Structure 1
Amino acid sequence: MIARVILPVLCLGLSACASLPDDRLDDWAKFGERARIGDVLVRPDRLVEDSRCPMNARCVWAGRVVIDATVWANGARRSVQLESNKPLALRSGELSIAEIRPDSFMTNASPRRADYNFRSSYKRR
């Protein structure tokens, strides 16, 4: 009888000790979250530039997004700057921003920092 009561309580207590990762570790990440792309981790840290053309404007240039990011690759951590239209060369491959959300916005409503979500891609050499 005691075993029937104590065992479930013990299991419940031990499950509370299990820690969950602090990041989602999928291929999408918001600022401050890490994303896993193969064996590379990327964490977008700060928006440097978002010069993309709003959907209700006429632009000569499509624009770009530039972010400061932290990358964990090949056993090392690096601070890098990623541009939406330019892959970054790493020792073992190329890292790039594959997709950015929101993908479009209006001239009078620029995205807030919390609205941004990035998907990266990595090509091994």
Structure 2
Amino acid sequence: MEAPLPPEPDVRGPDPRTLSPQPQPEGPPPTDFYTPQSPAPSPPPAPYDGPPLAYTRIGETISVDGPEITPLALLEDSRCAEGTQCVWAGRLRVRVRVGLGSGPREIDMTLGQPVQVADGQLDLLDALPHPVGGKKPAPLAYQFGFRFMGGL
């Protein structure tokens, strides 16, 4: 008497009993959405992404929608260097000469803090390059991005 044949599989496709073993991929097994994942690294700080700015360097004068701005001196750059974690984000301060119809005046500006000038607001919104690895750029290497929003 002959042994009975096993029942046919109830799936479509090739019979798994006749397939040769497939090579396994190297590395960790794939994960599904239930498996906890390590958080993705946070991206570096994004550069300024707003309305166009007028950029200038120490000693150079530029017209910013009315006022003429001349950065005179870098007073402080304690911003956190890219690729590091800091308790305090730091700040950047620059002394500038603002030329208006009534004559020039010198003011100290801090990155991200607007200053009232004539009938509007002057903002220092960007400063390049950013500190990297604890090394501060030379003062003359900086470019400062300004915006003036005039009154009505």
Distance 1:94 1:103 in 2: 25
Partner of 1:111: 137
In structure 1, the gaps of 5 or more residues are 1-25
Which is strand-richer, 1 or 2?
Answer: 1
Distance 1:82 1:34 in 2: 16
**Residue-pair matches, total:** 99
Distance 1:106 1:74 in 2: 43
Which letter maps to 1:114? L
Q: Compute the TM-score of the two structures, normalised by the length of structure 2.
A: 0.61
Q: Secondary structure at the match of 2:68?
A: strand
In structure 2, the gaps of 5 or more residues are 1-52
Which letter maps to 1:79? E
Partner of 1:100: 127
Which is helix-richer, 1 or 2?
Answer: 1
Q: Compute the TM-score of the two structures, normalised by the length of structure 1.
A: 0.73
Runs (4+) off by over 3 Å? none
Q: Which has the larger radius of gyration?
A: 2
Q: Secondary structure at the match of 2:98?
A: strand
Partner of 1:55: 82
Taking only aligned residues, the RMSD between alpha carbons, in angstroms, comes to 1.5
Q: CA deviation at 1:104?
A: 4.0
Query: Equivalent pairs: percent with the same residue?
Result: 24
Distance 1:113 1:101 in 2: 11
Q: Which of 115, 119, 125 is the aligned partner of 1:88?
A: 115
Partner of 2:39: none
